[in-house]
A = this chain, B = another copy of it.
Amino acid sequence: MKLHEYQTKQIFADHGIPIPKGWVAETPEEAARIAQELGGPVAIKAQVLVGGRGKAGGIKLARTPEEAREVAERILSMTIKGLPVRKVLVEEAADIAQEIYLGITNDRAAKRPVVMASSEGGVDIEEVARRSPEKIVRAHIHPLLGLQAYQIRDLALGIELPREFWSSFIAFARALAQVYQKYDATLVEINPLVITRQGNLLALDAKLVVDDNALYRHPELEKFRDLDAEDPTEVEARQYGLSYIKLDGTVGCMVNGGGLAMATMDIIKLFGGEPANFLDIGGGANAEKVARAMRLILADPKVKVVLINIFGGITRCDEVARGILAAMEEVKPDIPMVVRLVGTNAEEGRALLQEAAMETATTLTEAAQKAVRLAYGQ
């Protein structure tokens, strides 16, 4: 789950990470009032959960409350990469002397979090990684011990941070590591972390992504969820324990297991078709879940055929068959289905489906070829 900049900054402030003074506004009038209150030049920043806000014109300076109103009005009417801007963050414009980068993410290979710092802040860090990888210094966090001050000093040295900022940088990075750990983050990032002309460190931007698997430990974050940022069908699917991602093709897929679902999409493509979606019904899917999944697929008008590929392990094929029958009963689809059931209780499943008029297949290759043929109306 991604948090908005203003939400992340609120968490930062609670943990002693310095941020610019500011508030969030939903109307141009509010933005003007905040600018008035702040009493100086302000930055007005679109709160949308996509990258590249700045390039899209979602971040602007305003010198007066009146200008803040105008800028906010413009930004609040924007749609950035498909997402409507519903809120702007209005905050004191910082007097920037230097911009650096500081972030923490999980290093899968090292099996521990890694802190990354760069003297090149305020630019795309992946771009920095490509262009001049030596500009990014790293320190791994021992999962049981946590980030230590000496590691932060190593980073400070690595990015050639002037010594007068070391102690505030240490406090800053420790607090960031604390936020990372406390909120089960998979990414926390400050880009840029600025050194102001007054000699203070300040988190000018703030990004926080929380591990979805750990959300049960953070009920307080539920209120931060922004449904705008997510595909409503994907959200609905998640509510039913399904993993669904909409694509552009015509062959709807219902598969158990993420790897097999990808392989099924890949083989559809290999045989000349286009998958309409990724859909993993998960392990141990029961009949109700399968029926939900079927309805999700059939809701997409582009779908011309549905390929059901179930390999029973935790999932039992008879339960899946019952789900399919229930969904057919209710939705009464007028498009063809290709069903392939193998593994745990496959025979019982197949027996249940015998009466329904469905194409069946033995191998995945056969199933994919049949589905592609049917998608092209053959």
Interface of A is mostly: loop
Q: How far is the CA of A145 from the CA of B143 in the complex (A)?
A: 9
Of all chain B residues, the one with the shortest Cβ separation from A144 is B144
Q: How far is the CA of A145 from the CA of B146 in the complex (A)?
A: 11
Within A301-351, the residues touching B (CB, 8 Å) are: none
Within A130-175, the residues touching B (CB, 8 Å) are: 144-145
Of all chain B residues, the one with the shortest Cβ separation from A145 is B144
Chain B residues near A145 (CB-CB < 8 A): 144
Chain B residues near A144 (CB-CB < 8 A): 144-145
Of all chain B residues, the one with the shortest Cβ separation from A146 is B144
Of all chain B residues, the one with the shortest Cβ separation from A143 is B144
Count contacts on A: residues with CB < 8 A to the other chain.
2
Of all chain B residues, the one with the shortest Cβ separation from A142 is B144
Give chain B nearest CB distance to A4 CB in angstroms.
30
Give chain B nearest CB distance to A15 CB in angstroms.
16
Q: How far is the CA of A145 from the CA of B144 in the complex (A)?
A: 6
Q: How far is the CA of A145 from the CA of B145 in the complex (A)?
A: 8
Q: How far is the CA of A145 from the CA of B142 in the complex (A)?
A: 11
Give chain B nearest CB distance to A220 CB in angstroms.
16
Q: How far is the CA of A144 from the CA of B141 in the complex (A)?
A: 13
Give chain B nearest CB distance to A101 CB in angstroms.
29
Q: How far is the CA of A144 from the CA of B144 in the complex (A)?
A: 5
Give chain B nearest CB distance to A181 CB in angstroms.
13
Give chain B nearest CB distance to A147 CB in angstroms.
13
Within A89-145, the residues touching B (CB, 8 Å) are: 144-145
A62-92 Cβ-contact flags toward B at 8 Å (1 or 0): 0000000000000000000000000000000
Give chain B nearest CB distance to A112 CB in angstroms.
13
Give chain B nearest CB distance to A182 CB in angstroms.
14
Give chain B nearest CB distance to A358 CB in angstroms.
47
Give chain B nearest CB distance to A143 CB in angstroms.
9
Give chain B nearest CB distance to A200 CB in angstroms.
24
Q: How far is the CA of A268 from the CA of B144 in the complex (A)?
A: 49
Q: How far is the CA of A78 from the CA of B24 in the complex (A)?
A: 59
Q: How far is the CA of A263 from the CA of B144 in the complex (A)?
A: 41
Give chain B nearest CB distance to A191 CB in angstroms.
31
A222-264 Cβ-contact flags toward B at 8 Å (1 or 0): 0000000000000000000000000000000000000000000
Q: How far is the CA of A144 from the CA of B148 in the complex (A)?
A: 13
Give chain B nearest CB distance to A241 CB in angstroms.
25
Q: How far is the CA of A181 from the CA of B71 in the complex (A)?
A: 50
Give chain B nearest CB distance to A361 CB in angstroms.
47
Q: How far is the CA of A75 from the CA of B145 in the complex (A)?
A: 47
Give chain B nearest CB distance to A217 CB in angstroms.
14
Q: How far is the CA of A185 from the CA of B144 in the complex (A)?
A: 20
Q: How far is the CA of A144 from the CA of B142 in the complex (A)?
A: 10
Residues of A within 8 A of B (CB): 144-145
Ranked nearest first, the 2 interchain pairs of A and B with the lowest CB-CB distance are A144-B144, A144-B145
| Sampled A-B contacts (2; CB under 8 Å) | A144-B144, A144-B145
